[in-house]
Structure 1
Amino acid sequence: MRLPSSLQDLANSEVVRFLRRPKSITRILSGVFSLIIFSSLLTDGYQNTTNSSQLHCVFNSNHMACSFTVIAGTLAFLTSMGFLALDAHEAWIVSPQLKMVFRLLDIILAALWAVTWFLGFCFLVNQWHHSSPKELLVGSGSAKAAITFTFFSIFAWIFQAYLAFQDLRSDIPVPYKRSLDESGIMLTSLSPLSTSSSVNLATSGPSSLTYSSSVLSPSVTAPKGPRLAMMPDS
């Protein structure tokens, strides 16, 4: 099945190619997971029980659990979208030092978010284990969704840190690369005549040196012709 020319041009555009990169897909997934986490608790995270009209957090009535999840999800979403925007303008970063700082910051933040979501997952599971979902009206589904996507976020941020580490390794300059390149240029710039002469000098012996010296000074080795003497008249 062949796509129309307009759709094929769209598929080959820079935007689509940028969004199809593994790093871009990982950042988008991390942002979507964070959006689901904090939006589910913002909508149904605080519910009243069947016996009371007072609002309580769905996680064992622990307001710290809901506040942590909402704040962490919002910050993680902003982090993912911010780094996605920086990736789109990465070509503008010309300085190698600034690019290395960007890679290191990406690795550090991704590792921190992976640890944060791991601790948050353990904390939410513990609080949900001690809560009573039967007393909630509609907050049970939101709590399960937050726990599920918190677990998915751990692996998304770990993979994001791995991709950032791979980019950092590819950007590290080789210390001796310039010297090796310069040596290669110097070797290739030698003419064949000078190369062959150096080889001949290295493999030649004393006889060849004598021969070359004789060639350079023909006046010394040139044979002298017979001299004509004038005889006196008798």
Structure 2
Amino acid sequence: MRKAVSILQELSDHDWVHFLLRPQIIARTLAGVFSLIIFVSLVAEGYQNLTTSSELHCILNDNGAACSYGITVGVLSFLQCLLFLGFDVYEASITVHKFKYAILVLDLTFSIIWTCLWFVGFCFLANQWNREIHHYLLGTSAARASIAFAFLSIPCWVYLAYLALKNLWAEPPVPYKRTLDEGSVALTTLSSTTTTSLPNNMGYSENAGAPSYPSTPVPHRLTFMHTDD
């Protein structure tokens, strides 16, 4: 028992455990799993045929646009989750401020976009499923799963957008940080130059306060001697 407890304590102190327990990683993983379930369900059982025909139809009111929408958005959402999970893994090794700031901006932008897309997708898929008039032998579970996980994807992407906005506010913008860096360098250079340019001993002459005038040469005067005649 003590050995098991010590193993669990060692695992809890591991960096990967702390990484996996981060709220952003949990939310992004859930969003990726939900997207995977949606497009896999629609690809596997989203198209069925009637007993009277061998032609495949979308189980969502025979509307091929509904199935295509769920599959397309699900695939793109899943790929984006994988991409940004890779950025999260190498976040500590990213030292270029411009690149890190651009990732945060893209994360916020795409999170807002996917929130809107999944909201539209949930409304669209649910509406088409309610209008369905045919009863297929298969595909009912796939339709319900796609609608349910489309709804669950909305709070995940809202939370990811909130975390991205929070991280973006905590990160100073690129021009502001560059200006501060340049200002500190300029002040350091100016202070060092001023210190080194001043002489160690500054002596003042006694007549330092007296005004100095240019000296003009005094001309020689000719004197005439009067002689008595």
Q: TM-score, normalised by structure 2?
A: 0.72
Note the C-alpha offset of 1:171.
1.2
Q: Report the equivalent of 2:191.
A: none
For structure 1, which segment, 49-58 or 1-10, has the greater mean C-alpha deviation from structure 2 after superposition?
1-10
Q: Is the aligned partner of 1:156 residue 2:156?
A: yes
Q: Distance in 2 between matches of 1:152 and 1:54?
A: 32
Note the C-alpha offset of 1:53.
2.4
Note the C-alpha offset of 1:92.
1.5
The secondary structure found in structure 2 opposite 1:132 is coil
Q: Is the aligned partner of 1:20 residue 2:21?
A: yes
Could you list the runs of 5+ residues in structure 1 that have no partner in the other structure? 181-234
The letter of the residue matching 1:156 is C
The letter of the residue matching 1:144 is R
Q: Distance in 2 between matches of 1:86 and 1:116?
A: 23
Note the C-alpha offset of 1:4.
3.1
Cα offsets for 1:94-138 (capped at 9, x unmatched): 1222211110000000000011111111111121121125x2111
Q: Report the equivalent of 1:137.
A: 137
Note the C-alpha offset of 1:7.
2.9
The secondary structure found in structure 1 opposite 2:54 is coil
Please report the RMSD computed on the Cα atoms of aligned residues, expressed in angstroms: 2.2
Q: Distance in 2 between matches of 1:31 and 1:56?
A: 27
The letter of the residue matching 2:24 is K
Could you list the runs of 5+ residues in structure 2 that have no partner in the other structure? 185-229
CA contact (8 A) 1:50 1:137 kept: no
Structure-to-structure mapping, 1:134-213, within 5 angstroms:
135-172=135-172
CA contact (8 A) 1:18 1:24 kept: yes
Percent identity, aligned pairs only, is: 44
For structure 1, which segment, 8-17 or 161-170, has the greater mean C-alpha deviation from structure 2 after superposition?
8-17
Note the C-alpha offset of 1:177.
7.8
The letter of the residue matching 1:166 is K
Note the C-alpha offset of 1:67.
1.3
Which structure carries more helix by proportion?
1
Q: Report the equivalent of 1:33.
A: 34
Cα offsets for 1:56-115 (capped at 9, x unmatched): 101111111111111110110111111011100011211222211110000000000011
